[in-house]
Structure 1
């Protein structure tokens, strides 16, 4: 999951020259004029005539809120006038719980009241959602009091916006990004990166940051700008990893903790994290984190990943070469302790220091991939003694074996297939409930690792089911996405708003509302399209490695009868997440390109993540699953392709975006099925020459060429789907890869 801050900053500077990124940072919402000829329902009032919208403009955020509501009002076909007698008032009231709002509707007056801008934006978005879903200018009359299902709903930043510290200026993280978050019901955004950027220490001055003042100023500014939109920033701090001869370790040898795994390069230095049991080092952690909240008191909280990355301790990623079987770390100071004792000590040192400065700051402990060190699969020993003021953040579906038709699938990371809840989370939630602590659930509201290349997977029935499972856990908060693509403002992400603000509505009710609003008379057809894609998403046979293979490259992925040497550079990339075992601020991963191709049937990985039932053959099960996904996604593609193009430009844009995405999903499944079949035949042919196998391989190549030619237009018409625009790596253009693939395969160089 980790990302390389330096590389993403460079990519972001490039991307910000792209008009697509600039456009997508805006709070795009498809707003159609309301149907004024509709008839009111019981307890509804018609919103007619001229209106005046007013507030106290001196309150930070009110101008932005009023501007947003006015924009919506006019786009919907409603009228505004400075001398209107009908008024919409937006006002703060201290007696309303934070994040909640009260709304009063009469024939002459609409009032939205809340105690903070978080509640004000919730009320404005709720009003707009209600009118848009109703598709008519009617609101429920009288007084309503609304509260969300959970206190915080945290997301990644929108597509094309930065989330990496310290570069949080408006150039890279615009106000439109926060506005877009607010419109999806999100009141928290993740920021991420090295906490060495914020060190001004009296304990370890050797780690002081020369740009500290500038970094703090940018952080404070971003927090204040986000606050105007009812959004808080939640920081995922990445701990130092330093060379063994770093001046700190020379001066204070006890500060040096575990030696980590070796890096990507033969010349990578030996790196060490800070010792997680040394009292001085623990005090240093507390000093730095507490100072963050002193300098930026409106920072929402910390998300401390204490499993396999980010908030380092000496049991997280130690190099275990030369250790005895019972030894869990090579750190001299920590090896005498159980890992749970050390991790809880680190959490306590951080939490106590922060809460002395800001009592209501969220401190979340996230045992993501804690199997690296945990004494039990669900980290129950950790939770039984975890500081009570620390909230548990845990993932809805991770670390589960899912029984499928003929096999078991390892859900080793985020999945769109398995909707949860995972057994470990159920056990964890029980302990948290018993101890009366706070629970925050991590989910993915738009995709899974099986389909990480899309901005969203329109498998809405399946994604809605995942939200139901989140809701059933009754969490205090939700983190609804990690930083894989960037928030898109899609219907998939909108499901989170409905789950929080209208938990009483069924999945069918929500889908009908969204489909009717965005596709009008084609609503029922679109719901069927989403159903077919939900079916297709259930046929991913395993969660593949990050950012590789036909599942990721889609129809740009080639295959060869004889592997080319060297591999064409257009099928390689720089993968930022491989920074994990490099020194802090290292640029090593900028020099080492990685192949994106799957060039062998993945037997080795399947042994780790796939268990065939007795009497079933692994490779045939995998291929059968991908072919089933092809069949289901083809139904979706053919159905949406035949929808007549509407004249309304807003309906047309909605349909075209969804149609291009559906076609890419279908053609990606086709390429994936072709690739796996081809690679298995290639393997068989290498063992025993067979004319029939060779003929079948040539037929697969012929079919794949046709699929690839048909796919090219997708990236021309929807450049937002091109891999070259991603910010989590430096990838070649999808069109460039497709063209190279077509040349090689059409010229017969693969034969």
Structure 2
């Protein structure tokens, strides 16, 4: 049992370089050893690479127990040097080039050279020693943008977390923006976050919560939106982009197919409920007018700002209406679609539908593909909401989902969409933030190697984390985990209920019993907004009851495989060396927790059937 205080996970997030990774072993054929006689040499006039060099020096000391030197002059021998080579073909390309007396960390630009530095760390982590093979290793990212939220706390980015994000090959972080320096729940100095992120080679995008009160044709609309977005980019010129999503950017559309209400307004002024869809959930014909106006305002202040238009909210709408909207959007923005949503599937005879955001279906879904093809025809850069950093909304209380074979299916599908439809950007988490793990290590390599072999990458990570002697056992456990998530067909009722809370989910018998899940006064979503303790499901609808009873069976199967996989891993924990055991124990614990959460959901559903029957009898 590993007990800890609340929020103690933040200590682990602050540890960018794991301690004592080194294993005593002989130098392999074709390898060199970096000893204390080596020096990290950095350019005298490049503060960015000087910080990267200090980081590498710390890696050698912390992870490998080697005290290398650090200098702004380059020794003739035994030097690790940073080189900028603009002739490298691909954007963001980087290389580690090793000779007996020199290691070159080469990048197309300084940020890419930093990634070469982190790659050297990765190679030595796999070797479990300060050894590296002679020759060269080339990498280049297939995505121009991989963006995440903070895993520390919403809109909170300490330097150590930014450093870990950069080490994971992720180049963009998101800040929720309600107003200048006003994030989702509190004051945040946006310019401070932007400046510090830049030190780690990371861009910052604004995720807009600003409310669109006017139609672009309304009198004073340009002045109004300039007071929002023009002001944001004037006061915070370091923002590199902005993300717009329907439910938050909705404006009073004049599309006659909609209610015409702005974001946050559900009723007409007279209190009546609209019969037509809200503009935030419909591909309005005048969204292009709104985008063009806001784009003009933003680009006056930041000419190369990336404007990301996310179609998540109307993915279930008629395809013709969605495609018509895309065809009228400006070509110099980015279109984002959610990778797996709105897909009707079947698991073991049980009908299911992918909710936001799920992993039981790797994707891509029909909605995503339809928009990807349209974006390709229109020449609009394509982004995907993929959750590829390691966590979906299926289980709400784990840092990541250790289901590597399922993630590999998604990663392979993403690469295919990159090649076929020009997928160039990836939003890799939403609300739940980024937590470094072997899954994010898997993603980094899969998205930067030229022809990645996912299973081989995973085998190397298993050796690093568990030892080669446990390969078959760990592979079996990971396959059980990955099979288990296939049956985790989470509905909204489950995501916002027992799968979000886990085994402590309450069983509330009477519908008039008011239970409020405890929440902090500064919580973004308090008062049961995203956690619903009064479980409910529309089983009065015959088809829904059949689905519900099938889900009971699926959750039992899922729980059994998660727990069986965890038991396999727990059995080998006592045999692991101390420097591997704690992280391994946490992987096993996450798998078991996911199994216990699935078992809880199985039992909540069984209980709910009896509750409904009891209350019907009691009238």
Structures share fold, TM-score greater than 0.5 = yes
SS state at 2:248 partner: coil
Correspondent of 1:61 among 48, 59, 70: 48
Q: The residue matched to 1:456 in structure 2 has which SS? A: coil
Q: What is the alpha-carbon distance in structure 2 between the residues aligned to residue 187 and residue 676 of structure 1?
A: 41
Higher relative contact order (CA 8 A, sep 6+): 1
Task: Render the CA deviation track for 1:180-200: whole Å, top value 9, x for unaligned.
Answer: 10111111111112036589x
Offset of 1:578 from its aligned partner?
8.3
Alpha-carbon spacing, 1:35–1:100, altered in 2? closer, same or farther (3 Å):
farther
Which consecutive residues of structure 1, in runs of 5 or more, have no partner in the other structure? Answer: 1-15, 164-171, 200-210, 242-272, 332-337, 580-588, 690-751
Residue equivalent to 2:256 = none
- 2:609 aligned with 1:651, yes or no? no
**C-alpha RMSD of matched pairs (Å):** 3.5
What does residue 705 of structure 1 align with? none
Aligned to 2:337: 394
Residues in 2 aligned to 1:557 and 1:578: alpha-carbon distance in whole angstroms: 21
Choose from 170, 192, 200 the match for 1:229: 200
Q: 1:633 to 1:297 in 2, by over 3 A?
A: same
Aligned match of 1:37: 26
1:93 deviation in Å? 4.7
Matched, 1:192 2:135: no
Distance in 2 (CA, whole Å) between partners of 1:568 and 1:437 is 47
Residue of structure 2 aligned with 1:476, choices 424, 438, 452: 424
1:76 aligned partner: 64
CA distance, structure 2, for counterparts of residue 387 and residue 294 of structure 1: 23
Q: Are 2:138 and 1:141 equivalent residues in the alignment?
A: no
Which runs of at least 4 in structure 1 moved beyond 6 Å after TM superposition? 574-579
Question: Where do 1:328-347 residues align within 5 Å?
Answer: 340-347=284-291
Equivalent pair of 2:251/2:279 in contact (CA under 8 Å): no
Deviation at 1:481, TM superposition (A): 1.0
- Measure the CA separation in 1 of the matches of 2:279 and 2:312: 22
**Whole-Å separation in 2 of the counterparts to 1:28 and 1:45:** 21
Tell me how far 1:239 sits from its aligned partner: 1.6
- For structure 2, the residue ranges without an aligned partner over 5 or more in a row are 254-259
Q: Is the alpha carbon distance of 1:567 and 1:288 closer, same or farther for their aligned partners in structure 2, counting shifts above 3 Å?
A: closer
Separation (CA, whole Å) in 2 of partners of 1:415 and 1:30: 34
1:303 to 243, 254, 276: 243
Whether the aligned pair in 2 keeps the contact of 1:98 and 1:118 (CA below 8 Å) is: no
Q: Structure 1 CA distance, aligned partners of 2:396 and 2:569?
A: 22
Which residue number corresponds to residue 180 of structure 1? Answer: 164
Q: How does 1:129-168 map to 2 (within 5 A)?
A: 129-143=122-136, 145-157=138-150, 159-163=151-155
Q: Give 1:657 deviation, angstroms.
A: 1.0
Per-residue CA shift, 1:251-295, capped at 9, x if unaligned?
xxxxxxxxxxxxxxxxxxxxxx33343253145325643444444
Per-residue CA deviation, residues 119-177 of structure 1 (Å, 9 max, x unaligned), is 122111111112222335443434555321111111112x22441xxxxxxxx421111
Match of 2:473 among 525, 530, 547: 525
Deviation at 1:427, TM superposition (A): 1.3
Match of 1:505 in 2: 452
Q: Residue by residue, what CA displacement relative to the aligned partner does 1:273-326 show, whole Å, maximum 9, x if unpaired?
A: 333432531453256434444444432211111x2224655456553665885x
User: For the Cα contact (< 8 Å) 2:288–2:329, is it kept in 1?
Assistant: yes
Q: Confirm or deny that 1:380 pairs with 2:380.
A: no
The 3 A distance-change label for structure 1 pair 513 and 293 is same
Give the number of the structure whose alpha-carbon radius of gyration is greater.
Answer: 1
Q: CA deviation at 1:438?
A: 0.7
SS of aligned partner of 1:424: helix
Shift in Å at residue 493 of structure 1?
2.2
The residue that corresponds to 1:280 in the other structure is 220
Contact 1:98 1:114 in 2 (8 A): no
Is the alpha carbon distance of 1:395 and 1:328 closer, same or farther for their aligned partners in structure 2, counting shifts above 3 Å?
Answer: closer
CA contact (8 A) 1:102 1:114 kept: yes
Deviation at 1:679, TM superposition (A): 2.1
Distance 1:574 1:142 in 2: 54
Q: Distance in 2 between matches of 1:472 and 1:518?
A: 29
Q: SS of the residue aligned with 1:643?
A: helix
- Structure 1 length-normalised TM: 0.71
Count of residue pairs the alignment pairs up: 588
Q: 1:672 to 1:355 in 2, by over 3 A?
A: same
Is the Cα contact below 8 Å between 2:573 and 2:585 reproduced in 1?
no
Which residue in 1 is equivalent to 2:497? 549
- Compared with structure 1, are the counterparts of its residues 593 and 48 closer, same or farther at alpha carbon in structure 2 (3 Å cutoff)? closer
Conservation of the 8 A alpha-carbon contact between 1:300 and 1:361: yes
Paired residue secondary structure (1:440):
strand
Q: Deviations over 1:435-455 (max 9, x none)?
A: 222111111132222212211
Task: Name the SS of the counterpart of 1:478 in structure 2.
Answer: strand
Alignment check: 8 A CA contact 2:480 2:565 kept? yes
Contact 1:415 1:543 (8 Å CA) reproduced: no
